[in-house]
Every structure is written in structure tokens, then in C-alpha cells.
A and B are shown apart, each in its own frame.
Chain A
Amino acid sequence: EAGVAQSPRYKIIEKRQSVAFWCNPISGHATLYWYQQILGQGPKLLIQFQNNGVVDDSQLPKDRFSAERLKGVDSTLKIQPAKLEDSAVYLCASSALTGTGQDYGYTFGSGTRLTVV
């Protein structure tokens, strides 16, 4: 079974520039998550999609971050303009929900390491 695909693996940009990350979840997984992981910390949820609808974006800095999941499959996360404190690893994960509501097959991608200089 193919895993969660993310690209690019690494990105270096100057502050105030824009950047976009792409994620392709596991086939059939309805739920997709974007996390931000700052060095030495656990992942922080930015946004959660169920199919192409947003379930939770309470921790997404909406003044500079945006995400979309067109057609309920692939997703992109954009930062515009970037700040130094945005330097982190951006992880995408996907899962399926069983009939009892239990998330199943929760799988992370390898992440995109963003460095803002």
C-alpha cells in the first residue's frame, strides 16, 4: 500500500516570500490533516479535512496560512508571506473512519522541512 506522499522534501525561502506544500493521502482515506512540527516539539494540528470540507482549522494562522483540498483527495498548504518563526517540518497525515467512528490507518507522510531565512 502506498503511503502518504508529500512534496517538496525541503524548501528554503526568504522571509516575506510565499511557499506551497502538496500532499497526496492514502487512497480511500477521507480524512486529511496538516501539522506543523517545530524542532524539539510534538506536531501541532493546523487543519483537518473530512473529504473536501474543513473539520477543524482553529490553530491555523489564517492571516498567512491557507489550505485547500479540492475534490477531496490531494491537498495544498500555503504560507504567504512567510515569517522566520514558520521554520518547521510540515507533516501531512491521513486516516479512514470506520463505521463506529474510530479512526483507522492513521499514517503520516515524511514531511516538508521549511527553512525561512
Chain B
Amino acid sequence: KNQVEQSPQSLIILEGKNCTLQCNYTVSPFSNLRWYKQDTGRGPVSLTIMTFSENTKSNGRYTATLDADTKQSSLHITASQLSDSASYICVVSPNSGNTPLVFGKGTRLSVIA
């Protein structure tokens, strides 16, 4: 069964600190992996998208890594800001075309002053 598991479920960090969120997946075949940021009451916004051959992709203070062999991904946030408080969702596309995306349940990050 195609699944995406994220950890931790929630995380609280101090402003300015770094953090890393984890994503493990069992989706096969694999097309791409995406990280989304979802503010409360808003729709998810794409941070990164990586294909099978990509190991790292950055978007400002966000850096995603992908290990397609172990089926693991991480999202590292550097020098966190209060505005980083949100849910971060890992999403895997099983295949190109019309196959539905597989969503993780997300990690709820709270950045406090």
C-alpha cells in the first residue's frame, strides 16, 4: 500500500534555531516528492519538488533532501522565523500522469520567540 509517514507529528523550536523534518514513503513506482507549507486556514503552498535523480533542492532557508534508495526525505529549515509556524506536508507522486498524489499527515511546526 502506498503510504507516506512523517515525523515528528509536532515540533516546537525557538526563533533562530534550525530544525529537520522527516518523511518516509513506501510509494512505488516513484515519480517525484514534494514538500508543502500549509498555514492555518490556507491551502498548501509548494516549497520544493524533487525527481528520482535529485538529492538536494533548496528554496531560501528551506533545503530538502531525497534518498530514493532508502525512500527517505528530509526538510531542513535554517534560522527559523516566527512566520515558519505552519504544517509541513510531504507528498509523493506514485507515477506521472493521472495517478493520485499520496499525502503525509504533516508535521506541525511552532516557532516561538
Docked complex Cα distance between A100 and B89 (Å): 26
Chain A CB within 8 A of B81 CB: no
A42 touches B42 (CB 8 A): no
A108 touches B100 (CB 8 A): no
Within 8 A of B (CB), among A100-115: 100-103, 106-111, 113
Q: Is B98 part of the binding interface, using a Cβ–Cβ cutoff of 8 Å?
A: yes
> Interface segment, A12-20, A43-51, A76-84?
A43-51
Closest to B100 in A: A45
B28 beta carbon closer than 8 Å to chain A: no
Assuming the contacts A40-B105, A42-B106, A43-B103, asked whether A108 and B96 have C-beta atoms less than 8 A apart, the reply is no
B contact residues, range: 20 to 34
Give the distance to chain B from A38, nearest Cβ to Cβ, in Å: 10
A24 CB–B CB distance under 8 Å: no
B60 at the interface (CB under 8 A from A): no
Q: How distant is the Cα of A50 from the Cα of B34 in the complex, in angstroms?
A: 22
Give the dominant DSSP class at B's interface: loop
* A31 lies within 8 A of chain B by Cβ: yes
6 contacts between A and B (CB under 8 A): A42-B91, A43-B89, A102-B96, A103-B97, A106-B34, A111-B43
Asked if residues A100 and B43 are in contact (CB atoms below 8 Å), the reply is no
The answer to whether A107 touches B97 (Cβ under 8 A) is no
Does A108 lie within 8 Å of B45, measured CB to CB?
Answer: yes
Are B101 and A31 within 8 A (Cβ)? no
Residues of A within 8 A of B101 (CB): 45, 106
Closest B residue to A50 by CB, please name it: B98
